[in-house]
Amino acid sequence: MNRLFNTLFVMAFAAAMTITSAVAQQDAVAQQDKDTNGTAMSSKGSAGTTVSDKTFVKKAAEGGLAEVELGQLATQKASSEDVKKFGQRMVDDHTKANDQLKQVAAQEHIDLPTEPSAKDKATKARLEKLSGEQFDRAYMRDMVKDHRTDVAEFAHEAKMGKDPAIKSFAESTLPTLRDHLKEAEKIAPTQKKTSAKNEPSGQ
């Protein structure tokens, strides 16, 4: 009788251990799924950001920094009042846009460059050596060229961008850039005409 009781006890104990092990395994699987979902949720904010979006943000940041620095240079070196005013507008508008881009980049976990590109640095170095009408002409020529590129790139991002926040930034900034381009194209021919008029004949 005692032997039968012991056998039943051992079988019941083994069954209980099996159930406990199964429950523990289920809990472990459930915790793993929870952790996996948690990881997925934590990266959800930047899941829609493509390489193209990030490249756009990087170039927009570098370009914005350059526009501010070149605008400051124009307020100091330009001889034309129109060019000075345009330079100041570049400082004001692009500083505002740069601040907006910083907020978007922080939201999407994108590190922004802290200085202009090597190409823009070279442009600044070249303009720093000029003065008077030579500076006005060169600066406005660069502004027309730069803003044509900017308008094209922002228009592309506004239409094709995948990240909603970055796409919205491009859409909201695009009208200002188009206005910059329109103004630059208006001032540039004036500077060219003025310079040609003041040059001695035969040159």
pLDDT at 178: 98
Cβ within 8 Å of residue 141, ≥6 positions away: 188
Residue 24 identity (one-letter amino acid): A
Direct distance between the N- and C-terminal alpha carbons of the chain, in angstroms, rounded to an integer = 126
Give burial (CB, 10 Å; 0-12/13-18/19+) of 169.
buried
Residue 79 has pLDDT above 90, yes or no: yes
What is the reported pLDDT for 33? 46
- Cα dihedral sign, 122-156-88-69: negative
Alpha helix ranges (H) inside 108-160: 118-128, 132-160
Could you give the maximum distance between any two Cα atoms of the chain, in Å? 129
Residue 188: closest CA among 153, 137, 152: 137
Report the mean per-residue pLDDT for the chain. Answer: 82
Which percentage of the chain shows pLDDT scores above 70?
A: 70
The pLDDT confidence band at residue 147, using thresholds 50, 70 and 90, is very high
pLDDT of residue 40: 33
Instruction: Measure Cα distances from 80 to 84, 177, 186 in Å.
Output: 6, 22, 14
Say how many C-beta atoms besides its own lie within 10 A of residue 11's C-beta. Answer: 10
